[in-house]
Amino acid sequence: METIYLNKENLAVYQEMASANVMALGCFDGLHHGHVKVIQTAWQEAKDRQVSLSVMSFFPHPKTVIGGKACFHYLMPQSEKEKRLCELGLDTFYLVEFDRDFAGRSPQVFVKEYLVNLGVIHAVAGYDFSYGSRGAGNMDTLKLDSGDRIEVTTVDKVEHKGEKISSTRIRQLLLDGNVEELPDLIGHSYESICEGTRTFLTPYSHYTLPAPGRYEVTLKRNSKSFQTEVMVNEKGVTLTRLGQIPSWIEGNVTIVWNRRMKAEKLQIEKKDHTFCRPLLV
């Protein structure tokens, strides 16, 4: 898979290099079941047409630019997203720089410059995908905005227990500490890659820590794993069973969040639970 960091300065170069492709569109933060359905649908369309498969995502998240959110709870860094997308069979991953200039493009200009001129012949996205200035374009207008040069497939809402699976829902479950519910939405327990010191774990940037409290987790590094308990507070993640911690819990360590221990709850005001400060870049 090739990753292309796309912006207004290099757009023309990649337009010249583009060939026919089917493209899945979306932010894809967390790559939950709804996202995977969109990409798998695009994969089948690309296979049927015997063209390459691409995904277009946007960074920073549009809400940080349009909504002015200084602190945004990302679910995964771009490096982890790239790894997962590669596993889903992509040929090309376009990561578009989302700034105010890009957000101000009309729907028609976005479709022409970022889809038609990048060789897209078929676009796939969720039913609520929007594009262009003020989100004026949607899946009902995309074919018309392309001058009938792009076919469109809209993927219906994916639900669990009658509620839409979304990145927003996953973020809220994390911020509420309900980590045991996440496998039903993302297909596995939520994971955070951290810098470990055997007593303290500091997540790298673009992960969301669950709510303050005590959790049962699995720590992983390379082929090794260890089940233990940790305490989350506004500073980060503290290991609580120090006498049992193996020596390899240092450096790059992954936390697998299994469940919150209901008997434990820190009395920390929710307004303090932002976790934008201590994350490693």
For the chain, the average pLDDT equals 91
Topology of the domain comprising 2-160:
Rossmann fold (3.40.50)
Q: How far is CA 150 from the centre of its chain?
A: 26
Contact (CB, 8 A) for 170 and 182: yes
The domain ranges of the chain are 2-160, 177-272
Total length of the chain: 281
Per-residue pLDDT of 114-142, as tens digits, reads 999 999 999 999 999 999 998 999 999 99
Mapped to the 3 state alphabet, what secondary structure does 43-108 carry? Answer: HHHHHHHCCEEEEEEEECCHHHHHCCCCCCCCCCCHHHHHHHHHHCCCCEEEEEECCHHHHCCCHH
What's the CATH class of domain 177-272? mainly beta
Among 80-84, 147-151, 259-263, 269-273, the minimum mean pLDDT is found in 269-273
Nearest to 76 by CA among 221, 254, 231: 254
Is the pLDDT at 19 greater than 80? The verdict is: yes
Per-residue pLDDT of 38-51, as tens digits, reads 999 999 999 999 99
Distance CA 57, CA 35 (A): 11
Residues 6+ apart with CB under 8 A from 39: 24, 28, 55, 85, 88, 90
Is the pLDDT at 222 greater than 70? The verdict is: yes
